[in-house]
Amino acid sequence: MTAKTAYDDVEVGTELPAQTFPVTRATLVQYAGASGDFNPIHWNEKFAKEVGLPDVIAHGMFTMAEAIRVVTDWVGDPGAVVEYGVRFTKPVVVPNDDKGALIEVVGKVAAKLDDNTVRVDLTATSEGQKVLGMSRAVVRLA
């Protein structure tokens, strides 16, 4: 594992570069195929509304996959991720237009741990709503 970020260069409170990830209906269809999750709430507006959702929503696991990119882009080696957990608090609602929705992710170092690892706390929001809670990753630095 070869992380490009050095343990000695980070402190509690160090902010990771923030990123914004767009998600459209086309993104969700592509993710459904790649992940094998064909639940119609992620592509069928009529079905989503019948089960009480405001509209089609993104796969929670899609949002989880995007959020960790703030960490993997920071360390370079995705294999440096030791732990990663989230709570799905609100759905990312994806309207049927060419813009879709945005998932905004910020992260900062919350603790320095043993073996050159740090805990990063992530916050993911869409339309001002927090879509992931308790979102934490432990990553091994150089």
Partner 1 sequence: MALDQSFVGRSYPPTAPYEVGREKIREFAEAVGDANPAYTDPEAAKALGHPDVIAPPTFVFAITFKAAGVVVQDPQLGLDYSRVVHGDQKFAYARPVRAGDRLTVTSTIEAIKSLAGNDILDIRGEVHDEAGEHVVTAWTKLVARAAEEA
**Site residues for partner 1 per CB under 8 A:** 1-2, 21, 27, 30-31, 33-37, 60-62, 64-66, 68-69, 72-73, 76-79, 81-88, 134
Position of tokens 């432990």?
Answer: 138
Spatial distance between the Cα atoms of 90 and 124, rounded to a whole number of angstroms? 10
Shortest distance (Å) from residue 72 CB to partner 1: 6
What is the token pair recorded at 119? 């805990």
Quick one: 10 or 91, whose CB is closer to partner 1?
91
Hey, what amino acid is at 26?
A
Quick one: 21 or 43, whose CB is closer to partner 1?
21
Q: Which residues pair with 20 in a beta bridge?
A: 104
Which residues make Cβ contacts (< 8 Å) with residue 128, sequence separation at least 6? none
Quick one: 64 or 109, whose CB is closer to partner 1?
64
Shortest distance (Å) from residue 76 CB to partner 1: 8
C-alpha separations of 60 from 4, 5, 15, 21, 132 in Å? 29, 28, 24, 14, 9
Shortest distance (Å) from residue 113 CB to partner 1: 14
Quick one: 65 or 106, whose CB is closer to partner 1?
65
Q: Please compute Rg for the chain using Cα positions.
A: 16
Shortest distance (Å) from residue 111 CB to partner 1: 16
